[in-house]
Amino acid sequence: MQYFDCTPVIRASCTNGALCSRKTRPKAALRSKFIFFNNLLVVSLRVASHIPRNASVFLSHFVASNSATDVFRQVFGAWLLECAVHRSAPLGTYDIPPPHDGDARFSRSNDSLRESDVRLSVRSISGRQREEKDVIPGEFTYHRPSSVAEAVAILVSHGDEARPLSGGHSLIPMMKLRMAAPEHLVDLGGIADLKGISEDGGTITIRAMTTQHELIGSDLLAEKLPIIKETSLLIADPQIRYVGTLGGNVANGDPGNDMPALMQCLNASYVLTGPDGDREVAARDFYEAAYFTALAPEEILTAVKIPTPPAGHGYAYEKLKRKVGDYATAAAAVLLTMNGGSVASASVALTNVADTPLYAADASNILTGSTLDDATVASAVAAAEAITDPASDGRGPAEYRTKMAGIMMQRALARAADRARS
């Protein structure tokens, strides 16, 4: 496979209010098409002569600055919705519509969307590879370390070119689609230390390579943290849950994954192990933007630590999906404790209604101390809806997904309250 180091840059410009695409080298005209695939923006370009036709270009870097994300979304929002309708179309051309006249956000050069904000890598694909590209990942070197220290050393020596491999049920599909092309895969499956679930001093520790299937079968979790089983059963299907791991699910950074919001709801923290040892990052601070997290390239997420909630707590995970095995259109996790008729503590988090999972702090505060009367619930739901910022995509327009987040929260709240009272 031949790689072109041409790093094209999509820019929102210009003083005339139009959008343009350009790339740095080699010189070629670009017309681009964008689609969202499992929350990842995929850019396909038809390019001029000296880059083979039908080169595929994937968004490989998207700086996690809110301003860049906002500008990007504002610029491409309506366009993405249209592309979602044509998502099964082959690579092709797409003319970028100009932004609305008079919209202040587009009125002058968008300095906040700099070259470093959106970077694309272009790879040429031969005819045969083009036919195979959706089923066969690119070449990589496979490593199977037997200790965390050994795995970290491999990551350190290969930097950005290496990626940990857990269940592979997010990473391998991305590699088949050429959305990820790591040169070194570091399989964590041979590290015995990364398995197991235990409780010590009011904290439940789940090691990273514990599969979703093992979460469902754990007696300890069934007794102390049943919301984990409830949520796991809503992930994909049994085949995927046999191999998909908790560590991979929370480290992945895909806003469509269900475990991250649940971990925020439970106030979990992640143990990240790197060349300098361990550090802990709260799940509520870990997610920076889609596929951008606090994890450094040379670190491995080795465990998830969760404070054990009090016995008798109420809980529920509600997920709206288009079909069994689908990612959420919107989902909500609720954990609460009751004291008499009122809420002693409440925690709410949302899945797939923003670039990151969302801990709904205001909604949680509004519920705490209340009797869950209708007015309080309505106000908490409104507070949760207010922090959502979903993409319009194949799962529906943004407004619909925001509303569904509110409804999922309301349903989860009602079930959690019933469980806490019984």
Ligand X SMILES: Cc1cc2nc3c(=O)[nH]c(=O)nc-3n(C[C@H](O)[C@H](O)[C@H](O)COP(=O)(O)OP(=O)(O)OC[C@H]3O[C@@H](n4cnc5c(N)ncnc54)[C@H](O)[C@@H]3O)c2cc1C
**Chain contacts with ligand X (rule: CB under 6 A):** 163-171, 173, 188, 208, 235-236, 240, 244-245, 247-249, 251-252, 257-259, 295, 300-301, 325, 327
- Of the pair 295, 353, the CB lying nearest ligand X is at 295
Nearest distance from C-beta of residue 126 to ligand X, angstroms: 27
- Least CB distance to ligand X at residue 256 (A): 6
Residue nearest to ligand X (CB): 248
Q: Which of residues 12 and 155 has its CB atom nearest to ligand X in the complex?
A: 155
Least CB distance to ligand X at residue 301 (A): 4
State which residue, 51 or 235, has the beta carbon closest to ligand X. Answer: 235
Mode of pairing for the β-strands spanning 30-37 and 40-47:
antiparallel
Query: Smallest distance from the beta carbon of 178 to ligand X, in angstroms?
Result: 15
CB of 249 to ligand X, least distance (A): 4
Q: How far is the CB of 54 from ligand X (least distance, A)?
A: 26
**For ligand X, the closer CB: 80 or 194:** 194
Instruction: Identify which of residues 71 and 404 has a Cβ nearer to ligand X in the complex.
Output: 404
- Residue closer to ligand X (CB basis): 6 or 185: 185
Closer residue to ligand X (CB): 204 or 300: 300
Phi, psi of 371 (to 5 degrees): -100, 15
Q: What is the 3-state secondary structure (H, E, C) of the chain?
A: CCEECCCEEEECCCCCCCCEEEECCCCCCEEEEEEEECCEEEEEEEECCCCCCCCEEEEEEECCCHHHHHHHHHHHHHHHHHHHHCCCCCCCCCCCCCCCCCCHHHCCCCCCCCCCCEEEEEECCCHHHHHHCCCCCCCCEEECCCCHHHHHHHHHHHHHHEEEECCCCCHHHHHHCCCCCCCEEEEHHHCHHHCCEEEECCEEEEECCCEHHHHHHCHHHHHHCHHHHHHHCCCCCHHHHHHCEHHHHHHCCCCCCCHHHHHHHCCCEEEEEECCEEEEEEHHHHEEECCEECCCCCCEEEEEEEECCCCCCEEEEEEECCCCCCCCCEEEEEEEEEECCEEEEEEEEEECCCCCCEECHHHHHHHCCCCCCHHHHHHHHHHHHHCCCCCCECCECHHHHHHHHHHHHHHHHHHHHHHHHC
Cβ proximity to ligand X, 131 vs 160, nearer residue: 160
* Least distance to ligand X, CB of residue 223, Å: 23
Residue 243 Cβ, how far from ligand X at the closest point, in Å?
6
Q: Which is nearer to ligand X, 170 or 392 (CB)?
A: 170
Nearest distance, CB of residue 76 and ligand X, angstroms: 24
CA separation for the pair 43, 40 (Å, rounded): 10
